[in-house]
Amino acid sequence: MTRQFRVGDHVAWNSEAGRVSGRIVKIHTSDTPYKGYIHHASAAEPQYEIASDKTDHVALHKGAALTLLRS
């Protein structure tokens, strides 16, 4: 089972541009359309909406892709 995160947690993930960090702003527990794709999510495996610390970029990731920096 993947770690469960909360809104406000500060997390990091790998992107094509390198290591990125940001804060979780929303947790999606059902399939969510985002940037032209359907991101599959459930209560057991949510998608986390994360606002980047350095840019205005917002990303959706599953918990397996995230590392907790601090809450």
Q: What is the pLDDT of residues 31-66, one digit of tens each?
A: 999 889 999 999 999 999 999 999 888 999 999 999
pTM of the model: 0.89
Count of CB atoms situated within 10 Å of the CB of 34: 13
Decide if pLDDT at 10 tops 70. yes
pLDDT at 2: 64
Lowest mean pLDDT among 8-12, 17-21, 37-41, 60-64: 17-21
DSSP-derived secondary structure letter, 68: E
- In three-state secondary structure terms, 64 is helix
Say if CB 28 and CB 45 are below 8 A apart. Answer: no
DSSP-derived secondary structure letter, 53: S
Mean pLDDT, residues 18-28: 95
Own/partner pairs for 26-33, CB < 8 Å, 24+ apart? 28/60, 32/60
Q: How far is CA 53 from the centre of its chain?
A: 13
